[in-house]
């Protein structure tokens, strides 16, 4: 996948803001998610671990519902193409 194919990147956990800013410098739309907003730049303040737990619970209840088109870059960033 080439960078020009990436429409948006979602950065998660530690250093998410740093990665978000670097993607933006490359001209790629990006948002970050973190439990803290110490620098007043976090797009989405959320307890990611709790959200993962809730999603897992939903997944086990509705295993056949998987339609999202995304590519996982790493444990930090997810890009939508």
Helix (H) or strand (E) run with residue 49 in it: helix 48-61
Overall pTM > 0.85: no
Q: Residue ranges per domain, the chain?
A: 3-80
Considering just the CA atoms, what is the radius of gyration of the chain in Å? Answer: 14
Coil, helix or strand at residue 51? helix
Report the greatest alpha carbon distance in the chain.
40
Model confidence over 52-73: pLDDT tens digits? 888 888 877 665 544 444 444 4
Model confidence over 29-43: pLDDT tens digits? 999 999 999 999 999
Q: Collect all residues with Cβ–Cβ distance below 8 Å to 12 and sequence separation of at least 6.
A: 32, 33, 34, 48, 75, 76, 77, 78
């Amino acid at each position: 996948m080439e960078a020009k194919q990436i429409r948006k990147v979602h950065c998660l956990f530690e250093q998410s803001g740093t990665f978000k800013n670097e993607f933006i410098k490359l001209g790629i739309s990006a948002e970050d998610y973190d439990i803290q907003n110490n620098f007043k730049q976090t797009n989405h303040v959320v307890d990611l671990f709790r959200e993962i737990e809730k999603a897992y619970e939903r997944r086990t209840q509705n295993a056949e519902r998987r339609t999202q088109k995304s590519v996982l870059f790493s444990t930090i960033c997810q890009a939508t193409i």
